[in-house]
Amino acid sequence: MPVRGTLRTPNLRRVQGSTVGRSYAAEGWAPLSTSVFQHTVAAPAIFAGVGVHTGQHVRVSIRPAPAGAGVTFVRTDIHDRDNRVPALGEAVTQTRLGTVISNGAGVSVATIEHLMAAMAALGVDNAVVELDGPEVPIMDGSAEPFVQMLDRAGLREQDAPRRFIEILETVEVTEPGKRASLSPAEQFEMMFEIVFDSPVIGRQIVDLPVDETSFREELSNCRTFGFAHEVEALRQAGLARGGSLENCVVIDGDSVINPEGLRRPDEFVRHKALDAVGDLYLLGAPLLGRFEGVCAGHGLNNAIVRALLARPEAWRYRVLAEDLARTG
């Protein structure tokens, strides 16, 4: 596969302008997400749908933002206080049913992880995500609709180098039976393992480099999942109001009750990896390092983000554009 205009790993040192704005699929080029320059959307990406937990219909517009701004969610339905919530690990306030971020004024945005995963994988460094409700629409339960929306909007290269977070020392967080870690690697890699006492899931493992190509092909269309008995309990608690077989794989006993079945035999662990890609993007920069998650969820994903940021000796910002300039 040609690597023109892109940088698969820090060891491939040739970058000749941007491929952004061109069709990945049409030209068959290598990933854009490892470009050494920052990107924002070229035009607003607009979509709407229901929140899986609130059931509210929400309209979203992903708009361009200046270089260095990062990703910020803006609740356009709130006018009487600060309605901006930065997509950063320190803003995470709930992780039980998805990742929720909040600001100091108590304004929150729920279920950001699948959209964040799509933006991480496609290399959207800077964007303002306007939404007129409390939760990002669940769409089909995967990240694929967001990828399509961003493809339609296109990306624009910005005149500023991208800053990666390079892992220098292994950082690990654990809970009984669960583990998440970040360790040094030349590129963003991910291993995820889940073990469920369910014949439909059992033990599943994925281990892959995470770049735009692998995300599109291996993870992006894998849907969130739940168990029928849990869905019932959530409904009784007033949650999962927007949940349905249209946006969630539901397991009942030894079978999947969605009539279309699974998109992949191991869709479950691939979705967990997708979640982790989104949760890790709350570091505020793309990763150069290996993530390992064993039975981890949004809580542990956020714990590893916070643990890394709390240990300045374990990571550094790395500007690959400067490395390239040095090596000619």
CB nearer to Zn ion: give 64 or 141: 141
Residues 275-314 that bind Zn ion (CB under 5 A): 275
Show Cβ contacts of residue 86 under 8 Å, excluding neighbours closer than 6 positions: 70, 71, 72, 73, 101, 103
Q: Of the listed pieces 123-131, 221-229, 247-255, 282-290, which binds Zn ion according to CB under 5 A?
A: 221-229
Minimum Å gap between C-beta 315 and Zn ion is 25
Contact call for residue 18 and Zn ion (CB under 5 A): no
- 3-state secondary structure at position 68: coil
Q: Which of 39, 53, 114, 298 is catalytic?
A: 298
Side by side, which strands form the sheet with 287-288?
A: 287-288, 163-167, 315-319
What DSSP assignment string belongs to 236-296?
HTT--TT--TTT-EEEETTEE-STT--SSTTHHHHHHHHHHHHHHGGGSS-EESEEEEES-
Minimum Å gap between C-beta 259 and Zn ion is 21
Q: Of the listed pieces 82-90, 158-166, 241-249, 269-277, which binds Zn ion according to CB under 5 A?
A: 269-277
Minimum Å gap between C-beta 60 and Zn ion is 17
- What is the rounded distance in angstroms from the CA atom of residue 6 to the CA atom of residue 12? 9
CB nearer to Zn ion: give 15 or 240: 240
Q: Of the listed pieces 129-137, 224-232, 283-291, 304-312, which binds Zn ion according to CB under 5 A?
A: 224-232
CB nearer to Zn ion: give 193 or 275: 275
Active site residue 114: no
CB nearer to Zn ion: give 40 or 99: 99
Count Cβ neighbours within 10 Å for each residue of 230-265 and write b for 16 or more, e otherwise.
Answer: ebeebeeeebbebbbeebbbbbeeeebebeeeebee
Show Cβ contacts of residue 216 under 8 Å, excluding neighbours closer than 6 positions: 24, 121, 147
Q: How many residues bind Zn ion (CB under 5 A)?
A: 2
Residue pair 270/223 in contact by the 8 Å Cβ criterion? no
One of 111, 220, 224, 247 touching Zn ion (CB under 5 A):
224
Q: Of the listed pieces 5-13, 61-69, 83-91, 222-230, which binds Zn ion according to CB under 5 A?
A: 222-230
The residue ranges that bind Zn ion (CB under 5 A) are 224, 275
- Please give the positions annotated as active site: 298
